[in-house]
Structure 1
Amino acid sequence: MMPIETVVAAALALTGLLSSSPARAVPQERSARVDALEWQAREAARDAARRDREERMYEEGQEALEEGRWQRAVERFTVVAQEKSTRSDAAMYWRAYALDRLGQKAEALAAASELVKAYPASKWINDAKALALQVRQSSGQAVRPEAEADEELKLLALQGLQHSDPEQAVPMLEKILSGAQSPRLKERALFVLAQSHSPRARQVLANAAKGGTNPDLQRKAIQYLGIHGGRENRDLLAQVYEASPDVDIKRRILRAFAVSGDRARVLAAASAEGSAELRAEAVQQLGVMGAHDELWQLYQKEQTADVKKRIIQAMFVGGNATRLVELANSEPNIELRRAAIRNLGLMGSSKTGDALTALYTNEKDLETRKTIVQGFFHQNNAEQLVAIARKETDPQMRKELVSRLSLMRSKVALDYLMEILNK
């Protein structure tokens, strides 16, 4: 049997698909508006890539702290601190913390002092001052191995209190949260507080969720409130959502609502939130929750194309093939139609293969037909690609179909290519 590459090349040649075609003329003059929009898009992409990199480095630093890999933590947090981003002050604190763990007391003090000077209004100031005090108190002393053991014992003790009498431990938990303890110990303290129903514990947890501690603990407090659910926790999250101007905090609260099953509040945000970014986040969470009817109602009311695309994506996440097929057939906006088709292509061929075939048969727009072909390709659905290739008369679409089949390691695809050769 011929090598697959030879078969593909021959098949393409026989169908006249390798013939050169004149390139589309590129306009030599474009409007200043188009240039500006393209520049903005490039800048936005660069900003997003930078934020993703910073977030990844910060998370790697946190993982290094958890694993006791202090030097790696220093390296990761140094990179984030130098970026002058929204996480720079947090990175400076954890860099100082890791330096202290390495026994580099002078460097740790300098790092903590640098944070105070560079970010005098930071929510990490109190943590930095507590860390500096601890470093001075232990100045000249090496990090004791038993200190690590002490922390492990504290973690075990907190786990015990979690199952016995968490209310008794509230004063100690407050002390841990305000001290220069490890992130793991502070997170465990918050976890215990989230399970307690004592008024004082609720007050401490509410303070953390509202930003009374450092931002990392605020995010954890919000997460735990969502995990443990309950009306009181959801009401507290709603209060924080209304009061906070921080989009990231609001986004995390929407996720916490979803985890706790509070569909009503997520739907309210998706319907009435002034920020398109937050509406899109709420829509995504509705998809995770499988809120099919709510998503369909939102789609019919929504005016913003970007948010509509997020609703389509949420329908895919929720597995709502029926509505996606309906949109692929009837949506007047061509880009939204293609978005629905792309998401259908990402679903199993058993659910959407026949619908995509019907769409292809009735579709006149060339680019939309290519989108449908791409969907079959993602499904590895060689049978349907061959079936429509046999009927296709448009040379450009035949090229698209044979090109896709040439990339599939499928006997059905190979047999079709051999069939072309044998004609």
Structure 2
Amino acid sequence: MRATGGHEMCCYDSVENASSSVLSGCRIEQHGSFTMRGGEDRIATLDDEKLIALNALMTADPELAVPMLEKFLSSNASPRLRDRALFVLTQSGSARGRTIVADIARGKSHPEMQRTAVKYLGLFGGEESRQTLSEIYASTSDVDIKKAVLQAFMTSGDKARVLAAARGEKSPELRRAAIRQLGPMGAQSELWELYKSETTPEAKREIIQALFVGGGGDRIAELARTETDPDLRRNAVRTLGLLGSDRTGAMLVSLYQSDRDPQVRREALQGLFIQQNAHALVQLARAEKDPEMRRDIVNKLSIMGGNKEALEYLMEILNK
């Protein structure tokens, strides 16, 4: 690889040296003259060197770097290099850089990078970027872009805008997508209020899942006890099994013992099985009078991977 300025090769052993070389006129050319094991390896290495140089130039002189980054976006550079150029522009602090990223996120240029630009606005943007995302959400009819914006809102911590979509979005698909984003945001109280006002089972199932993602075991346990819709109650019981035996094992045992719905009872057993709670299953098997339910419990104990308590109970059955 050749560089201008009389040097046979630009070798950067640090970002500082790269910055010095770039600022003194060292230019990495598109095609190197060295030989590697293959063309792909050579291109990958050249990309790595360009990334080092770009990062150094961005640190030393952002205004000088922005046109170069914009050039990479418009060129036949590798997808990796173009993605990195967009990434660096998002963090640049340059007014021109912000405009470039915002235009891509709005779909005005480089449409193949629109979703990536939306994601980066969520990762690194402040209020200005969140406002841009809000405008994109309001103006686009592309459901996939709207979903990407909702995820960017979640990433940026913009709970208010996600909640507004979860409450007011007319599209059921997008409303459910917004609900999903509220889970990682820890919006437990907001999700609970949404559940109480929601009328569609599909959205309620999404809320149960979002409560699970956010660690809302107490709310899910309440639904497992009080939800009047059998399908939703079974969904809540099933979800309890994913929360760990320390948190919900006793609740699942209680539900099994008290609920009259055979399907709810089976969901409770499945939850205990998922938790590998052999102790609870053995106790329930000992007390169970229904042969079919007891057989279901024994079957689960038989496939618990050599659990000592399960094996002891199975031996007890064999010795009867």
Scaled by the length of structure 1, the TM-score of the pair is 0.64
Tell me which residue corresponds to 1:38.
Answer: none
Q: Which amino acid aligns with 2:311?
A: L
Q: Distance in 2 between matches of 1:163 and 1:252?
A: 29
Q: Secondary structure at the match of 1:181?
A: coil
Segments of structure 2 that go 5 or more residues without pairing to the other structure are 1-29, 31-37
Please tell me whether residue 241 in structure 1 is matched to residue 137 in structure 2.
Answer: yes
Tell me which residue corresponds to 2:316.
Answer: 419
Please tell me whether residue 209 in structure 1 is matched to residue 79 in structure 2.
Answer: no
Tell me which residue corresponds to 2:164.
Answer: 268
- Aligned pair count reads 283
Tell me, yes or no, if the aligned pair for 1:166 and 1:193 is still in contact at 8 Å.
Answer: no
Report the alpha carbon displacement of residue 329 of structure 1 after superposing the two structures with TM: 0.3
Please tell me whether residue 196 in structure 1 is matched to residue 95 in structure 2.
Answer: no
Tell me, yes or no, if the aligned pair for 1:167 and 1:196 is still in contact at 8 Å.
Answer: no
Q: Which amino acid aligns with 2:187?
A: A
Tell me which residue corresponds to 2:206.
Answer: 310
Tell me which residue corresponds to 1:379.
Answer: 275
Tell me, yes or no, if the aligned pair for 1:345 and 1:352 is still in contact at 8 Å.
Answer: yes
- In 2 relative to 1, CA 344–162 (structure 1 residues): closer, same or farther, beyond 3 Å? farther
Q: Distance in 1 between matches of 2:310 and 2:271?
A: 16
Tell me which residue corresponds to 2:61.
Answer: 165
Report the alpha carbon displacement of residue 168 of structure 1 after superposing the two structures with TM: 2.5
Q: Which amino acid aligns with 2:243?
A: M
Tell me, yes or no, if the aligned pair for 1:166 and 1:192 is still in contact at 8 Å.
Answer: no
Segments of structure 1 that go 5 or more residues without pairing to the other structure are 1-133, 135-141
Please tell me whether residue 410 in structure 1 is matched to residue 307 in structure 2.
Answer: yes
Q: Secondary structure at the match of 1:346?
A: helix
Q: Distance in 2 between matches of 1:163 and 1:395?
A: 73
Report the alpha carbon displacement of residue 169 of structure 1 after superposing the two structures with TM: 2.1
Report the alpha carbon displacement of residue 165 of structure 1 after superposing the two structures with TM: 2.7
Q: Quick one: which of 369, 375, 391 aligns to 2:287?
A: 391
Tell me which residue corresponds to 1:348.
Answer: 244
Structure 1 stretches (4+) deviating beyond 4 angstroms?
142-150
Query: What is the aligned-residue RMSD (CA, Å)?
Result: 2.0
Tell me which residue corresponds to 1:325.
Answer: 221
What are the equivalent positions in structure 2 for 1:7-406 lying under 5 Å apart?
Answer: 149-406=45-302
Q: Which amino acid aligns with 2:142?
A: D
Q: Which moved more, 1:154-163 or 1:249-258?
A: 154-163
Q: Distance in 1 between matches of 2:279 and 2:118?
A: 49
Q: Which amino acid aligns with 1:161?
A: L
Q: Distance in 2 between matches of 1:315 and 1:165?
A: 46
Give deviations 1:42-97, integer Å, cap 9, x for gaps: xxxxxxxxxxxxxxxxxxxxxxxxxxxxxxxxxxxxxxxxxxxxxxxxxxxxxxxx
Scaled by the length of structure 2, the TM-score of the pair is 0.84
Report the alpha carbon displacement of residue 146 of structure 1 after superposing the two structures with TM: 6.6
Tell me which residue corresponds to 1:61.
Answer: none
Tell me, yes or no, if the aligned pair for 2:167 and 2:175 is still in contact at 8 Å.
Answer: yes
Structure scoring higher RCO (CA < 8 A, sep ≥ 6) equals 1
Q: Distance in 1 between matches of 2:50 and 2:302?
A: 61
- In 2 relative to 1, CA 157–418 (structure 1 residues): closer, same or farther, beyond 3 Å? same
